Amino acid sequence: MAYNEFAYFYDEFNDDADYTALFTAVTDRLRAHGVADGIVVDLGCGTGDLTLMLAQAGYDMIGVDQSEEMLAVLREKAAELGVEGLLLLRQDLLELDLYGTIRAAVSTFDTFNHIGPLPRLEQAIARAALFMEKDGVFVFDMNTPYKHTHILADNTFTLGAEDALCVWQNHLEPENQRTRISIRITYPDSGEACDEEFYEYWYTLEQMRAICEAHGLSVVDVRDGESFGACTDTSQRWLITAIKQYTQEERETTCPI
C-alpha cells in the first residue's frame, strides 16, 4: 500500500506521535545488540522523521518506501535540516533490492500490517533478511490483534489538519484477519475531496516468530510498542527485535540442494 494524497498530510494527522520515545526505544534495541553505526535501512520510511533522527545519530541510512509522495516530503525535510548522504529508494518491500548487505533494518508505524496476507508478509520479511549480515538486528513494530478487534474495529475517526479534514473509517473482517480502512480527505476552502482505501492485516506473535525463524531471524525481544515496557493483553502495538542467525552464504552451504 502506498499513500498518495494522504502523504502530504501524514505529519499533521500524525502529530501526536512521540518520535523521541520511538527513536530512543529503537536505538536502545540496536545498541543492545551491537549496532551503534553502519548501514541501516528504514523499511516503509514514510515522511522520514525516524530516518532523519537515525541519520543524525550517525547511522548510514537507506530509506525505502513505495510512495514517491512520501519520499518527496522526506527529501524536503532532509534539505531543511542539512542532512546529507541519505539513499532513498522507491521500492515495493516484496521486491526489496539493497545492492549490498546491511547491519540493521527498522520498520515502524505498522508498515508490515499493510503488506498481508500472510504469504506476502513472509516474502517481505524474507527480502529484508536476505540483505542482513549475520548478527544483524531487525527492529519492527506491528499493530496487535487487540487493536484491530477492539480499537479500530468498525469505528470511524475524524482527524483535522490546518487546511484539510480526514475521515478514517474502518470495517473489520475477522474471517480474513484484516481491517478495511477507507480515508476521505476534504479541503473546506475549495470543497474538493479525495479517497483512498487499503487493508491492514493482523497476526499472532506465534505467526511472527515462525516467519522470522523460517528466514534466519530469531525473535529475542517483544515489548509494548507505545510504552516500550512489558506487553499486556491490551497492548495495541508490539515492538519486535530479531537477530539474523547466519549469513546467506552459510545458509546456502548448509541447506540441501
User: pLDDT tens string for the chain (257 positions)?
Assistant: 445 555 555 555 566 678 899 999 999 999 999 999 999 999 999 999 999 999 999 999 999 999 999 999 999 999 999 999 999 999 999 999 998 999 999 999 999 999 989 999 999 999 999 999 999 999 999 999 999 999 999 999 988 777 888 899 999 999 999 999 999 989 888 888 889 899 999 999 999 999 999 999 999 999 999 999 999 999 999 999 999 998 766 766 555 44
Domain limit, last residue, from 184, 200, 216: 200
Q: Are residues 224 and 124 in the same domain?
A: yes
Residue 200's nearest CA partner among 116, 140, 139 is: 116
| 213 and 191 within one domain | no
Same domain, 39 and 103: yes
Please state the domain count of the chain. Answer: 2
Are 150 and 173 spatial neighbours (Cβ–Cβ below 8 Å)? Answer: no
Are 116 and 180 in a shared domain? no
> Residue type for 80, please?
E
209 in Cβ contact with 219 (< 8 Å):
yes
φ and ψ at residue 117, rounded to 5 degrees: -70, -170
Q: By residue range, what is the domain housing residue 231?
A: 5-143+205-254
The alpha carbon dihedral of 105, 110, 115, 120 has a sign of: positive
Residue 205, all three cell numbers:
506473535
Q: Are residues 169 and 67 in the same domain?
A: no
What is the arrangement of strands in the sheet containing 156-160, beginning at the earlier edge strand?
A: 156-160, 165-173, 178-187, 192-201
| Statement: the pTM of the whole predicted model exceeds 0.75 | yes
Picking from 185, 200, 215, the residue at the C-terminal end of a domain is 200
Q: Which three cell numbers stand for residue 101?
A: 548487505
* 205, 215 contact by CB (below 8 A): no
DSSP assigned state of 48: -
> 156 and 123 share a domain?
no
CA dihedral 49, 7, 198, 104 (to 10 degrees): -30
Check whether residue 121 and residue 161 sit in a common domain. no
Q: How far apart are CA 35 and CA 94, in angstroms?
A: 25
